[in-house]
Amino acid sequence: MSAVARFARLLRLLPKVADGTPRRIGDVAKALRVPAALVREDLQSLAERVEDTSGGFIEGVQVLLDRDHVTVRSRWFRRPLGLSADERAAVALGLAMLAQEGPAESVPAIQRAREKLGRLGPGDAAVRAGRIGPAAPRTAVAGAQRETRYLAALQQAWVARREVELAYRKPGARAAEPRVVRPWRLVSARGAWFLIAEDAARRAARVFRLDRIDGVRLRSATYEVPAGFAVEDVLRDGRVFMGAGAGTLEVRYGPAIARWIAEREPHERQPDGSIVVQYPLADDAWAVRHVLRYGPDAEVLAPARIRELVLAVLRRMV
């Protein structure tokens, strides 16, 4: 156990206990979300002073420790340390993501939050004077997804457990239709956002791509997310998928692009350097779009109806 890790942990632990009130070690551990044995070891390390302290030394921290309880007195460690540069940078990174995603009306609040976050630790003067350091790594986010204009509204609906009415364009549909849904989870996977929600009319869970949502209206009705729902249940190979028995899409990717696809998909390699990948298939329109983006380097092998759909689309373009 390194001194750095223990010291950093103590700076978080002491403000929670240093007011002289006896506390159960188990409760302290629970509040800090660390094992009780670790809390005991950290406190024990203070209770058993290694150095000779004869000569009028004033303890910065006094610790009384018995089997289950601890009492700590310290005038100097009753508040946490200000946020470090890496702590502020981590939260700022998340704020940058939210600012990119919008909506535009949330940006002022994000900017104010970022400015106030900066005041929760030593300022630029301390950095310039070398009083703290080193600075956090340079980290940025880029490439906001274009379909996130309703993400914040749906996240707020999830927090409030309020139903929403979506204007949703089904795959292949030219116009949006109203759908009343109960949001269970928002998932970002492979560069796209999805809403996992119960469709109120169908009384069944559905996956909605956020780039097909043309409008969101909050309703007054509330709901509960089913206790048995786990987001892992709708993730397969890092992709959001829901539905059973819909079939399998089999695609062959030519040698020119195979290694890029193989980097992210489980695949079967062919002697000519191409690969074959199988995907769960619940949306024919998605399958057509997916293979067309690779031009002649991708070919649907099965099912036959998707091959026909692809061919029909291509004939209209020639």
Partner 1 sequence: MPAERRARPADAAKVQRWLDVVAALLRRSPDRLTFVELAEQVPAYGRGLRSRGDERWQESAVARMWERDKDELRALGVPIGVYPDAGGNRSRYGLETHEFYLPFVHSLDGTPARRTGGPPGVSMVAFSPEELAMIRRAAGRAAQLGDPAVADAARRAMASVAHDLAAFDPDADHGETVVGQPLDPTVLRTVGDALVKGRRIRCRYRSMHRDVTASRTLEPLGLVFQLGHWYVVARDPGDERLKTFRASRMSAVESLAPNGAVAPPRGFALAAHAASREAWELGDGEAVTVRLSVAVHIALGDLPGAAPASAAVGPRARTRAATMQVRRLEPFLRWLLAFGGEVRPTAPRHVVQAFRDLAARTAATYGAGS
Site for partner 1 in 196-235 (CB under 8 A): 211, 231, 235
d(Cα 190, Cα 64) in Å, to the nearest integer? 53
Q: Residue 215 Cβ, how far from partner 1 at the closest point, in Å?
A: 12
Q: What is the DSSP letter of 135?
A: P
178 touching partner 1, by CB under 8 A: no
Q: By CB under 8 A, is residue 266 in contact with partner 1?
A: no
- Report how far residue 51's alpha carbon sits from residue 47's, in angstroms, rounded to the nearest whole number: 12
From the list 305, 258, 255, 296, the residue with the least C-alpha distance to 277 is 258
- CA dist 178 to 27, 55, 159, 181, Å? 49, 79, 22, 10
Query: What is the spatial distance between Cα 140 and Cα 307, in angstroms, rounded to a whole number?
Result: 41
In whole angstroms, the minimum distance from the beta carbon of 201 to partner 1 comes to 22
Number of residues that bind partner 1 (CB under 8 A): 131
Task: Compare residues 55 and 245 and give the one whose CB is closer to partner 1.
Answer: 55
Distance CA 131, CA 80 (A): 18
Stretch binding partner 1 (CB under 8 A), from 199-207, 216-224, 242-250, 292-300: 292-300
Q: Of 156 and 245, which has the nearer Cβ to partner 1?
A: 156
Rg of the chain over Cα atoms, rounded to whole angstroms, equals 28
Burial of 234 (0-12, 13-18, 19+ CB in 10 A): buried
* CB nearer partner 1, residue 245 or residue 316: 316
- In the region spanning residues 123 to 162, those forming contacts with partner 1, defined by CB under 8 A, are 123, 126, 129-147, 155, 158-159
Instruction: Answer yes or no whether residue 310 interacts with partner 1 by CB under 8 A.
Output: yes
Regarding 6 and contact with partner 1 (CB under 8 A), the answer is: yes
**Residue 186 is a binding residue for partner 1 (CB under 8 A):** yes
The set of residues, in sequence order, having a beta carbon less than 8 Å from that of 4 and lying 6+ positions away, is none
Residues whose CB is less than 8 angstroms from the CB of residue 279 and which lie 6 or more positions away in sequence, other chains included:
239, 248, 249, 250, 251, 287, 290
Instruction: State how far the Cα of 188 lies from the Cα of 191, in Å rounded to an integer.
Output: 7
Q: Which of 67, 128, 203, 316 binds partner 1 (CB under 8 A)?
A: 316
Nearer residue to partner 1 within complex by CB, 96 or 242: 96
The token pair that represents 152 in the structure block: 């914040």
Which one of 21-29, 216-224, 242-250, 289-297 is the stretch in contact with partner 1 (CB under 8 A)? 289-297
Which two three-digit tokens encode residue 255? 């040698």
* Nearer of residues 23 and 290 to partner 1, judged by Cβ: 290
To partner 1, the closest distance from the beta carbon of 205 in angstroms equals 15
Tell whether residue 104 is a contact of partner 1 (CB under 8 A): no
Q: Indicate whether 246 belongs to the interface with partner 1 (CB under 8 A).
A: no
